[in-house]
Amino acid sequence: MGTREAEVVKPKAPSAKPFAVALYKQFAPSGTKFPSDDQIWRFVRTWGECFDKTGAIADAPRSGRPLKIPVSTVKDAVKFINRHHPSTRGQLNKHFARRLHMLRASPTSLWHRILAYDKSIRKCVLVEPRQPLSQLLKDARMTKTERWLNRFVKLKSPGVLKRRDIDGGDSSVRIPPPPTSKDYEGPWLKASAEDIIWVDAKAEDLKRRRTKAYGRRGSHSIIIDDPQQLTKRRKVIKYYSAVCARFGALHIAFTSGTRAPGFKPVTAYKTKRGVDAKGPTGEEFRDFIKVVKQKYISRCKKAGVQARPIFSWDNPRIHGSVKNGTWDDLGITTTNFMSVPCYSPDMHNVIETSHAVICQALRKDVQECGAGQPLEFYMQKLEQHFYKLLTVKSC
């Protein structure tokens, strides 16, 4: 009988499972909720097989779905944003709705592509810069400022300085005390300054306004066209107002161009061609100045003050020319009139500030009540704000 060779029994290799599980738990972040040891071991084995085949455990790169929106459409969208500065995404979606329908893409996909293409696009605050002034306009402002200061600032009052003109001429300029000094509250301003009647026009659109729009980060300013200018069925209030330091609010009158669906003005002014005026006319402005002068004289009589009105308004063509004698019949000449240089609303700061005060109060009414109220309702509100907020308390 043959002898049977003894089988060689190889010892079993120790399992790597405990070692792998221990390392996994050792390098995991603190506070991690671990799965069972069997699940951890399956993860480790899968990663090991993937590493043996590919040399890495990361997922293989995927081709993904092809992009539906081409780069040309994305560039057009970026140009649209930088040119028109939409205040909402809906305005952008509406402009590209037809193109997105043809591409079978969603507006969200277009927006994601825009942000990936130009990461600087975001919502910015709307800012409109002032008109740059030429040297000729700057000289006109300096000349006018010198005349006003020398006319209305007392020379011998405490804190008032007399400095030679910047150009080194023979004329001098009276400089009032700085606002931070105690002399600023003193009597350095002449009484005639209280007789200046500031006149200006204003247009207020009754719509809730947005103050932000999409644009590139770091832009110096964003200037957009008002989309309401393209619509005819909107509510707009246009008015003339006159204020002075002695009495505050003098008179407010709603002018041609005030419009809303179904609104009819009390007095309809015509242009020279016989068409209904869409803005204030020269005849309308003259009628307004007549009423302002009458009110000022009557209020001076009640206050026991001599009426010496000094008028000041800007330079539209309908206002005529005081130098050419257009206003001589109303007693307004170069001696009691203060003209304003072009592009200088800051030199008309008194009336501009009054516009800001009453229009801010009106915007609050629009925000609270909405633009659904009739136009007459807001015209009455504006008139109430004018006399309530701007009238001097002593009057």
Q: 164 pLDDT exceeds 80?
A: no
What is the C-alpha to C-alpha distance for residues 297 and 307, in angstroms, rounded to an integer? 6
Token pair of 334, please? 């170069």
> Residue 175's Cα: distance from chain center in Å?
33
Cα maximum dimension of the chain: 152
* pLDDT tens per residue, range 295-310: 999 999 999 999 999 9
Query: Binning pLDDT at 50, 70 and 90, where does residue 378 land?
Result: very high
Q: 101 pLDDT exceeds 70?
A: yes
- pLDDT value at residue 4: 53
Q: Is residue 80 part of a domain?
A: yes
CATH number at residue 199: 3.30.420.10
What is the C-alpha to C-alpha distance for residues 122 and 111, in angstroms, rounded to an integer? 11
- pLDDT value at residue 12: 60
Domain of 336 in residue numbering reads as 193-390
Q: Is residue 50 part of a domain?
A: no
Please indicate, yes or no, whether residues 80 and 221 belong to a single structural domain of this protein. no
Please indicate, yes or no, whether residues 115 and 221 belong to a single structural domain of this protein. no
Query: Binning pLDDT at 50, 70 and 90, where does residue 211 land?
Result: low
Q: Is residue 231 part of a domain?
A: yes
Please indicate, yes or no, whether residues 102 and 199 belong to a single structural domain of this protein. no
Q: 166 pLDDT exceeds 50?
A: no
Q: Are 327 and 351 in contact (CB under 8 A)?
A: no
What is the C-alpha to C-alpha distance for residues 245 and 193, in angstroms, rounded to an integer? 8
Please indicate, yes or no, whether residues 88 and 229 belong to a single structural domain of this protein. no
Query: Binning pLDDT at 50, 70 and 90, where does residue 175 land?
Result: confident
* pLDDT tens per residue, range 22-67: 877 777 777 777 788 888 888 888 888 887 887 777 777 666 667 7
Q: What is the mean pLDDT of residues 189-200?
A: 92
